[in-house]
Amino acid sequence: MAPPTVIRWYAITSAIVLLLVISPSVAIYCDEDDCYDLLGVSQTANSSEIKKAYYKLSLKYHPDKNPDPDSRKLFVKIANAYEILKDEATREQYDYAIAHPEEVFYNAARYYHAYYGHKTDPRAVLVGLLLIFSGFQYLNQWTRYNQAVAMVKKTPAYRNKLRALELERSGGIPNKKKSNKQMDKKTGEDLSKELDLQIKGAEKPSVWELIGVRLILLPYTIGKVRKTQLLWLRVATMLMNSKKRK
């Protein structure tokens, strides 16, 4: 089975994807509210009307002027709606999301690019992508390996190994009280612990084979290869010089 950590990350990633699919694409802007309704303006309102509505509502619901406990939450929502609608680019994206709610991933990508693209370090994005790809790669390798092992365990050759291992442990004396099925079940558990099945084309996953780890170790690998090349070049030069002297 795949390690619990891998399964946990796979479940988290799947949950995020499902959340994006199920949630309306406009919800990423003003949650479940309509940005225009929060400001009390229509979708055809101009920038001046939007600005005027925002200032009026911000004075009404500002926490310093309104003692209502819910005023702070509403004030934050109003400020967020204004940030979206005051900019022509983000407003255009929001209007598009309203008109095309079925384009969930496209609308989400435009939103996160507009709000977080310029704030995010490209190196952090690269590291994050490498971690995601490596996680899926590791999970995929474990799945392939487990499927291959399950197929091997159904073969006659594997069952013969089980019987041979049972005879070896019992000193060559078969236990007549046990049926073959019982013997196979018991020895199969021991075999999985003691024997490392290496199946060609579906090898047991290794952290060192992950794309993220390989890229991190790439400078070391290049340096090691370069060092080996220089060593062979030195040996070849020495051999050539010794031949010339003879």
pLDDT in tens, 173-188: 555 545 444 455 655 5
Answer for the pair 38, 52: CB distance below 8 angstroms, yes or no.
Answer: no
For the full predicted model, state whether its pTM sits above 0.75.
no
**Residue 246: strand, helix, or coil:** coil
Residue 20: predicted pLDDT:
46
Place of tokens 């005879």: 167
The values of phi and psi at residue 195, to 5°, are -105, 130
> Per residue in 74-127, pLDDT tens?
999 999 999 999 989 889 999 998 888 888 778 777 777 766 655 556 677 677
Alpha-carbon dihedral angle through residues 21, 24, 28, 32, given to the nearest 10 degrees: -140
CA dist., res. 102 & res. 107, Å (int): 9
- Please, what is the average pLDDT of the chain? 75
Q: How confident is the model at residue 2 (pLDDT cuts 50, 70, 90)?
A: very low
What the block records as the tokens of 135 is: 């996680």
What the block records as the tokens of 78 is: 């109003």
